[in-house]
Amino acid sequence: MTTMNEQPAAPVASTSSSHAETRRWTTGPAAQNPQWRNHPAYASAMDALTAAPGLVRPDDLLRVRAALARVASGEAVMIQAGDCAESFYACTPEAVDARMEMLDRFAGALGERTGRPVLRVGRIGGQYAKPRSKPVERVGDRMLPSFRGHLINSELPSRAARQADPRRMLWAYRAASRTLGQVDGHRSAREAVARTADHGEPSLGPWSSHEALVVDYEAALLREDPRHGTYLASTHLPWIGERTRNPDSVHVRMLASVVNPVGCKIGPTSRPEEIQRLCELLDPHRTPGRLVLIARMGRDRAADSLPRLVAAVKESGHPAVWVCDPMHGNTVTAANGLKTRYLDTLVEEVRIFLRVLDDQGVPPGGLHLEAAGEQVTECIGGPVVGEDDLRRRYTTLCDPRLSPKQGQLLIESCF
């Protein structure tokens, strides 16, 4: 690996990962991967994706890691935010700009409150697949195959629309490519103002992230860089979700093998030894900036579960960045059947998180939020006064998101 100050070489065309490499990861059990390998379009979709140019540059991955190392030391903080399930229709310039503005707003509030530089990371440009606990869901009065994100199927309420279609991997790639091009533009503009030259120095972003859930899509976007080795070219910061973080999973093994910084969700049922094992796999060299642990305990379990997990990670010497996801442990169903989250509850979980880290002398890394670029009415609090208000602008494809105003209120209430 090069040092951070080294000038990058002239751009090198990274070689596509071989089909053999892709197959290595797609053979064997891969939880949450769609059952689409016998679909007539599967092989050609995988071939096209394996041959496609990567969506991120390997040098940039080192710059994100350098920025995360500053977060790990407490010198900076991070905000990671965006849709629960990103839509293919949200790759328009207006929709991407709205989400960049939302990130700016959150970063502005967080920077003001903490007095620290803020690393911006979107759940953007690839957050197209959702883990689902059940294969079917109720839509109106019908039971249909669950919507699993635009990378896999359509949200439209018909049996045909809900079939998994591997061509969606190519559509996801194209939507991601357009989106990430625009995110790059926002980053370059910020770097020009901050006078951060593109020379391997840390950059505060905005960078991209998503849950690396569909093993087929991710494996087909593994690339080799002559200097840095294997990297995941689908996003800057891939993370492993709560349902796929089993240490023997393909998801964990794949992310263990790439040079990207990687994230991992940590839920309330995690045992300290299990998290230590995951950290050992994902961050064997204990490298600052390599590993982000995203705590999603739920308000009622955070005070009980989190302290021993943070202590275990600290004890094993991993300089992980700890961020709080107050969304996923606090989802409730309103009387009208809509999934929602109460801002007050989210605030309480973040406060517990901050207290626990403070008690242990570990710097809090920041927040991981589900939030929209528009003024949605999906969570309750601030301008959304109660459950009756939810229907006004409830447009999420999956979990309820904060509006930009609500996200700002959350940050200002916690820091």
**Which residues in this chain contact ligand PEP in the complex, by CB under 6 A?**
84, 131, 211, 241-243, 265, 296, 328
Q: Pick one of ligand PEP, Mn ion, none as the site partner of residue 242 (Cβ within 5 to 8 A by kind).
A: ligand PEP
For position 376 contacting Mn ion by CB under 5 A, the verdict is no
Closest to ligand PEP by CB, 63 or 328: 328
The C-alpha atoms of residue 287 and residue 124 are separated, in whole angstroms, by: 25
325 scored as a contact of Mn ion (CB under 5 A): no
CB nearer ligand PEP, residue 203 or residue 406? 406
Residue 295 Cβ, how far from ligand PEP at the closest point, in Å?
A: 10
Least distance CB 342 / Mn ion (angstroms)? 16
The least distance separating ligand PEP from the CB of residue 294, rounded to whole angstroms, comes to: 7
Q: Does 84 bind Mn ion (CB under 5 A)?
A: yes
The CB-of-265 to ligand PEP minimum distance in angstroms stands at 4
Q: What is the smallest separation between the CB atom of 154 and Mn ion, expressed in angstroms?
A: 18
95 binds Mn ion, rule: CB under 5 A: no
State the binding partner of 184 from ligand PEP, Mn ion, none, CB within 5 to 8 A by kind.
none
CB of 213 to ligand PEP, least distance (A): 8
Residue nearest to ligand PEP (CB): 241
Binds 131: which of ligand PEP, Mn ion, none (CB < 5-8 Å by kind): ligand PEP
User: Least distance to Mn ion from the beta carbon of 152, Å?
Assistant: 15
Would you say 21 or 394 has its CB closer to ligand PEP? 394
Quick one: 24 or 243, whose CB is closer to Mn ion? 243
The structure tokens listed for 300 are 């009622």
Residue 294 touching Mn ion (CB under 5 A): no
Residue closer to ligand PEP, measured from CB, 259 or 275? 275
Residue with Cβ nearer ligand PEP (8 or 131): 131
**Is residue 399 a contact residue for Mn ion (CB under 5 A)?**
yes
What does the binding site for Mn ion look like in residue numbers (CB under 5 A)? 84, 399
